[in-house]
A and B are shown apart, each in its own frame.
Chain A
Amino acid sequence: MISVAQRIVRRRELAEEIVQESFIQIWQHAATYEASRGSALSWIFTIVRNRALNVVRDGRRLDLVEDDTLDMLRDRDAVIDDAFERLDEDSRLRRCLEGLESERRKGVLLAYVGGYSHGEIAGILGVPLGTAKSWIRRALAALKECMA
């Protein structure tokens, strides 16, 4: 859980804070959760990811990386590649992601693993916002199709 948060917020202390808050949220909301929205495991990770996303959307990630941009870029790509590489060799998700064009795959991974927004992804991929949005939409539709 800590690593999932850390992939998004980068800083270890912040990731631990998020996990701490997530555990408390999980505990407090245990009674109100609906199982039809997914398995327990995916729900737990959803809470962690959403909390981490709130932190970065508040701009707290920006505070952390100003001083070392090049490292940050290297780190960002490493985080994305690492998540993909760690998928099991015979994982269907891996196979389906491999089937996507590399920039579209990167777009999906940047969003899910790194917690980047459409605008940030467009900037990273060097394409207009509309293009990034439509690439990701198509990639998501293709993933759904491939994994069905």
Chain B
Amino acid sequence: MSEHDDIDVLASEYVLGLMSDADVADFEIRVSSDADTRRAVAGARERLLELDLTAPATPPREGLWDRIEEELDKPRPQIVNLSQRRLAAGATQSRQQRRSSFWSGFAAAAVAAILATSLACVYLKPLQPRFIIVLLDDQAKPVSLVEAFEGQKIRVIPLDGVVVPSGKTLQVWTLPNKETGPVSMGIMDEAVEITLQGPSLPAPKPDQLYEITIEPEGGSPTGKPTGPILGKGFACMPQI
């Protein structure tokens, strides 16, 4: 077994949770100091992630989001940091306004969605999209992730539970500005990850609207959204 294989096996054992506490401590030092080891851990996680995605969706029982919200609502310095980052990204509200409107203005389920948005902004660095959009349905449940790259290329990742109704097509839209109205970025016949090439448009801006609608087979007959909205969300800049 070569040394390279060895890193991968160790990384896999680490990811599987098979290491002793002492070995975990040693290995984590290696992870923090060595890029190859980090890559090996990331690789092992990505290889096995599919098994997590096979877990059936379990709707949380009443009160779970409330309890999470309650915990998160306790003042914590990290939350302030997050607000500062949002401010740096161009938000104009004061931190205080941001916090108070944040906590009072959203349903509990939306907290989770916003958390997902924040995470997507911070963590999807390797892909380097210009924007990330978490599309939420009318219950504020995340239904798809959209990554917007240079040149109107977007990657759409439908989340667990999204299906294309029989005889229908999902169509992805963006709203570059009110005057232009919604513009089709492409259609999806299956609820699987897809990269779409949109038409020539101005580069997307922060908070630009993206949405997916359910259209007749082959896409909207009018060139504008006609069907029910599967989910929508706003462009959010990753912190690269």
Interface residues of A (CB under 8 A from B): 1-4, 6-7, 12, 15-16, 19-20, 23-24, 26-31, 33-46, 49-50, 53, 82-84, 86-88, 91, 93, 108-109, 111-113, 115, 117-118, 136-137, 140-141, 143-144, 147
Contacts and interface: CB of A to CB of B under 8 A. Distances in A.
A70 B41 CA distance: 36
A27 to B, nearest CB: 6
B-side binding surface: helix, strand, loop or mixed? Answer: helix
Interface in B201-231: none
Nearest to B112: A23
B71 to A, nearest CB: 5
Contacts, number: 159
B35 interface: yes
Interface of B: 1, 5, 8-9, 12-13, 15-18, 31, 35, 38-39, 41-52, 54-58, 60-61, 64, 67-68, 71-72, 76, 78-79, 81-82, 85, 112, 115, 118-120, 122-126
11 contacts: A3-B55, A3-B56, A20-B71, A38-B45, A40-B123, A93-B51, A109-B51, A140-B12, A141-B8, A144-B12, A147-B47
A7 to B, nearest CB: 6
